[in-house]
């Protein structure tokens, strides 16, 4: 399978008469862009606000992030979700790099929603502070969700996908600044030199703990709570086959933007044929009942064994209850003789002294930490708030509480509520401080 990604690098974004990209400037016709948003009649009120790096802007509640892009070949973006169900992973994609569409609630937030600061100390917490953010700020008529801590946010999240595709269409017929090519042949077509390299799989554990539909991550539009672990070609992930869900403390969330830009998968692709034989992506899920956890871990091992894997990288979306799925998968792989590295965050308390994971095993002896969800942050007020700052304390944001917002507009919160701060896919720039 061969996937070509043509990149157009955004320097700035502004509003104008037409939606065009020229000399690094993305100009958006706001009226036409909002027409795409209002295609879903559940959206009652919407606006688009631009937030640039170093702006004195705070954005919350953020529900998802989507990269502006379009499929140039005869395929579809986000197959099975906002477009027809077709195979992903081949053809050509054009991408507006450096820009991002954020789905932001105008009034209602929840446990799974996050905060982004475009400047100041808070901006060091998440990669999204360094992108030019096109904020879709909207209300919906989903009144039954407004007072719920857990919200599906389906209308707004899917509107962000449609908006990102609308913006991406403006570079459909243009020549990109650069071209990335991702190509991985069928396993039986690899040459002898590649087959002699260590076989490695990437295991992506997607959040799927909600029983009702509409909350969990999607694979080709299919609720991951109803699936067994399955094998994907890496290109399928980079081409939009996986869409972020709406249940997960925000710092631990893997956004739709991060799925298609999964830095770990891209690095494994680059290492294929050089240091490793990259065998593919095993998409797994995170369950509630112990038997379900054991079943998924067993299937991950069976798939990896069938592929002849000698090494594995396991990425967990979330923490707490999912730590058991994470450790079980690592243990099963290690028992099969497959050397495994795990990537996850920690919940060590504000003082860093608590047990980092709910479940542990001596077999999990190679773990990469992406941060402490309980890290306490004190952030100065911002000149402008996009969205609704009160939602941080009022609506159960996983990092906020009553009293988080001070009289002067400054806030106190945990890293838990910073949007995608822990970046378990490797789109990350935090490091460990050694004491």
pLDDT tens-digit series, residues 82-109 = 999 999 999 999 999 999 999 999 998 9
CA distance 252 to 192: 40
State the average pLDDT over residues 355-373: 92
The more confidently predicted of residues 93 and 75 is 93
Q: What is the pLDDT of residue 435?
A: 60
In-domain check, residue 40 = yes
C-alpha distance from residue 28 to each of 8, 49, 167, 257 (Å): 15, 11, 8, 20
* 93 close to 181: Cβ distance less than 8 angstroms: no
pLDDT tens-digit series, residues 180-219 = 999 999 988 989 999 999 999 999 999 998 888 888 999 9
DSSP letter for each residue of 230-257 = EEE-HHHHHTT-EE--S-S-GGG---HH
In-domain check, residue 137 = yes
In-domain check, residue 428 = no
The share of the chain scoring above pLDDT 70, in percent, equals 99
In-domain check, residue 64 = yes
Which residue range is the domain that position 296 belongs to?
2-417
pLDDT tens-digit series, residues 215-240 = 899 999 999 999 999 999 999 999 99
Residue 172 backbone class (left: φ over 0; alpha: ψ -120 to 50; beta: rest)? alpha
Q: What is the pLDDT of residue 213?
A: 83
Q: What is the pLDDT of residue 141?
A: 92
Number of domains the chain is built from: 1
In-domain check, residue 307 = yes
Q: What is the pLDDT of residue 167?
A: 98
State the average pLDDT over residues 378-390: 97
Query: 394: which residues sit within 8 A by CB, 6+ positions away?
Result: 109
Mean pLDDT for all residues in the chain = 94
Instruction: Determine which helix (DSSP H) or strand (DSSP E) holds 305, and give its type and residue range.
Output: helix 290-307
DSSP state of 347: -
* Token pair in block for residue 343: 């990537």
In-domain check, residue 60 = yes
User: Please, what's the largest Cα pairwise distance for the chain?
Assistant: 67
In-domain check, residue 202 = yes
Q: What is the pLDDT of residue 390?
A: 94
pLDDT tens-digit series, residues 270-281 = 999 999 999 999
pLDDT class for 145, splitting at 50, 70, 90? confident
DSSP letter for each residue of 131-198 = SEEEEEEEEES-HHHHT-SS---HHHHHHHHHHHHHHHGGGTTSPPSEEEEEE---GGGS-HHHHTSP
* 342 close to 316: Cβ distance less than 8 angstroms: yes
pLDDT tens-digit series, residues 12-22 = 999 999 999 99
Q: What are phi and psi of 95, to 5 degrees?
A: -130, 135
In-domain check, residue 423 = no
pLDDT tens-digit series, residues 286-316 = 998 999 999 999 999 999 999 999 999 999 9
Task: Assess whether pLDDT exceeds 80 at residue 146.
Answer: no
């Amino acid at each position: 399978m061969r996937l070509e990604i043509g990149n157009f690098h955004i320097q700035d974004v502004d509003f104008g008469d037409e939606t065009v990209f020229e000399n690094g400037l993305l100009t958006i016709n706001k009226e036409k862009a909002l027409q795409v948003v209002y295609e879903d009649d559940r959206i009652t009120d919407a606006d688009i606000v631009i937030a640039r790096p170093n702006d004195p802007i705070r954005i919350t509640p953020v529900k998802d992030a989507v990269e502006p892009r379009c499929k140039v070949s005869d395929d579809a973006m986000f197959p099975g979700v906002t477009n027809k169900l077709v195979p992903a992973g081949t053809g050509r994609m054009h991408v507006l790099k450096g820009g991002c569409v954020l789905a932001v609630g105008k009034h209602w937030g929840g446990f799974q929603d996050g905060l982004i600061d475009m400047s100041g100390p808070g901006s060091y917490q998440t990669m999204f502070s360094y992108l030019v953010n096109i904020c879709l700020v909207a209300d919906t008529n989903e009144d039954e969700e407004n007072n719920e801590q857990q919200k599906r946010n389906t209308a707004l999240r899917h509107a962000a996908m449609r908006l990102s595709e609308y913006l991406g269409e403006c570079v459909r017929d243009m020549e990109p600044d650069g071209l990335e090519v991702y190509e991985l042949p069928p396993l039986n077509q690899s040459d002898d030199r590649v087959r002699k390299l260590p076989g490695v799989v990437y295991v992506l554990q997607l959040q799927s703990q909600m029983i009702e539909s509409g909350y969990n991550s999607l694979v080709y539009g299919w609720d991951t709570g109803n699936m067994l672990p399955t094998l994907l070609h890496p290109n399928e992930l980079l081409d939009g086959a996986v869409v972020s869900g709406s249940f997960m403390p925000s710092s631990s969330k893997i956004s739709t933007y991060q799925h298609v830009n999964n830095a770990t998968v891209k690095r494994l692709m680059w290492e294929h044929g050089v240091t490793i034989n990259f065998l593919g992506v095993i998409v797994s899920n995170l369950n509630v009942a112990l038997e379900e956890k054991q079943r998924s871990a067993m299937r991950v091992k069976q798939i990896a064994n069938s592929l002849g894997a000698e090494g594995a990288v396991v990425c967990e979306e979330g923490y707490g209850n999912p730590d058991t799925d994470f450790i079980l998968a690592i243990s099963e792989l290690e028992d099969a003789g497959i050397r495994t590295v795990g990537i996850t965050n920690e919940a060590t308390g504000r003082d860093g002294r608590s047990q980092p994971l709910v479940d542990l095993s001596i077999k999990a002896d190679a773990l990469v930490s992406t941060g402490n969800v309980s890290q306490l942050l004190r952030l100065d007020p911002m000149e402008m708030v996009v969205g609704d700052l009160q939602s941080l304390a009022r609506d159960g944001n996983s990092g906020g509480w009553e009293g988080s917002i001070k009289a002067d507009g400054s806030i106190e919160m945990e890293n838990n509520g910073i949007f995608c701060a822990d970046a378990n896919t490797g789109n990350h720039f935090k490091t460990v401080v050694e004491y």
